[in-house]
Amino acid sequence: MEALPENDPIPPVRLYRINAGSCNGCDVELATTASVARFDVERWGCRYSESPADADIVLITGPLTVRVRDKVLRLYGEVSEPKVTVAVGVCPISGGVFRDSYAVVGPIDRYLPVDINVPGCPPHPRALGAGIAKAATLWRERCGYTQPSPELASPGNYDGDAVAPTGLRGKMRFNAAACVGCRMCEHVCAGGAIRFDETDTGLHFTLWHNSCAFCGLCSHYCPTKALSVTDEWQMSHLQEDKYRLVEQGVVSFVPCTDCGSILLPVAPELLRVAYRETSREIERLKTLCPECRQKQSIGGIRR
């Protein structure tokens, strides 16, 4: 008779969920990772636990409201060490759309150490799975398990099925060449995820994905579609990368070809919106400051 394998089988990693005042979007999606076959956390060698004392990984949703804070911290404390903490959705990571409220005291890392962030609003169950898989690996490392569980053997598996779900509203992309600096995106953004900084070299655009609600409103109102929605959903990351998850771009200033004063060039996308076709005549106006442009087109400055 063959001997049984020497190694003990790896026990399942136990997950515990804490709702810190969420809109329930993240929670309802987490529920699918316990009830829908294709998203089930079992494939990552995990299962859900009903009690914090019997858990290894804590999943926290919501922006952390004043009133729920003590309850959250108490439950968190009941989870035995070593534990791995996952912030699920942009709410616990940055406060999300609720950041400016008197009733919100997050981000959660002000009160407890976070290991992994899973941005999204809410994140796709696959993204949740990927974050949970990362957390499970981290927890096993912390506990000194050397052998990876079979499902996790190939690193490619961390991300779940490789295919992006069709038409998913994922990470936003910025195309500086098309930006006209109208800042409409910043104006409509509920997450406070977009920021412009003006320097002498140009207009610097920064979008922090961890503050983004992935609503696409910025793209909708962007006159030149310098902002566009991609279907990239895999964004879970270690806490140390929290502030590096950005999209940046610079709209460089150019000197006016006539008088030399500094101006924001007109994006070809805007010309296309305004004139349908761009002619050479219009092209030339692109690099003129408004005053010189006026001079060119009406032959003198109006007083």
Alpha carbon of 267 to those of 22, 196, 221, 271, 288: distances in Å? 40, 17, 16, 7, 13
Task: Measure the CA angle with vertex 159, ends 14 and 33; round to 5°.
Answer: 40
Radius of gyration of the chain (CA): 25
User: Helix, strand, or coil here: 125?
Assistant: helix
Q: Which is nearer to another protein, 127 or 288 (CB)?
A: 127
> Torsions phi, psi of 198, nearest 5?
-100, 125
Residue closer to another protein by CB (options 188, 264) is 188
Nearest to 104 by CA among 65, 61, 60, 70: 65
Could you give the residue ranges of the DSSP H alpha helices within 175-222?
184-188, 217-221
Dist CA 249 CA 255 (whole Å) = 19
What SS3 state is found at 255? strand
Q: Using CB under 8 A, which of 77, 80, 243, 272 touches another protein? A: 243
Q: Of 52-71, which residues contact another protein (CB under 8 A)?
A: 62-63, 65-68, 71
Burial of 279 (0-12, 13-18, 19+ CB in 10 A): exposed
The interface with ligand SF4 within residues 83-102 (CB under 6 A) comprises 89-91, 96
In angstroms, what is the minimal distance from the CB of 96 to ligand SF4? 5
Question: Residue 64 CB, nearest distance to ligand SF4 (Å)?
Answer: 11
Applying CB under 6 A, does 222 fall inside the site for ligand SF4?
no
Site for ligand SF4 in 111-170 (CB under 6 A): 121-122
Binding another protein by CB under 8 A: which of 97, 136, 172, 179? 97
Q: Which does 172 bind (CB under 5 to 8 A by kind): ligand SF4, another protein, none?
A: ligand SF4
Which residues ranging from 201 to 240 are in contact with another protein (CB under 8 A)?
201, 204, 206, 208, 211, 213-217, 220-221, 229
Is 194 one of the binding residues for ligand SF4 (CB under 6 A)?
A: yes
How many of the chain's residues bind ligand SF4 (CB under 6 A)?
A: 27
> Exactly one of 45, 129, 160, 191 binds another protein (CB under 8 A); which one?
191
Q: Select the binding partner of residue 272 from another protein, ligand SF4, none (C-beta < 5 to 8 A, by kind).
A: none
118/29 Cα distance (integer angstroms): 13
CA 123, 127, 128 angle in degrees (round to 5)? 80
Q: Which lies closer to ligand SF4 via its Cβ, residue 45 or residue 63?
A: 63
Q: Does 45 bind ligand SF4 (CB under 6 A)?
A: no
Query: How remote is the C-alpha of 88 from its chain's centroid?
Result: 11
Among 191, 202, 249, 265, binds ligand SF4 (CB under 6 A): 191
**Structure-token pair, residue 4:** 């049984």
What residue type is assigned to position 224 of the chain? T
Contact partner at residue 103 from another protein, ligand SF4, none, CB < 5 to 8 Å by partner kind = another protein
Footprint on this chain of ligand SF4 (rule: CB under 6 A): 22-23, 25-26, 61-62, 89-91, 96, 121-122, 172, 188-191, 193-194, 207, 212-218
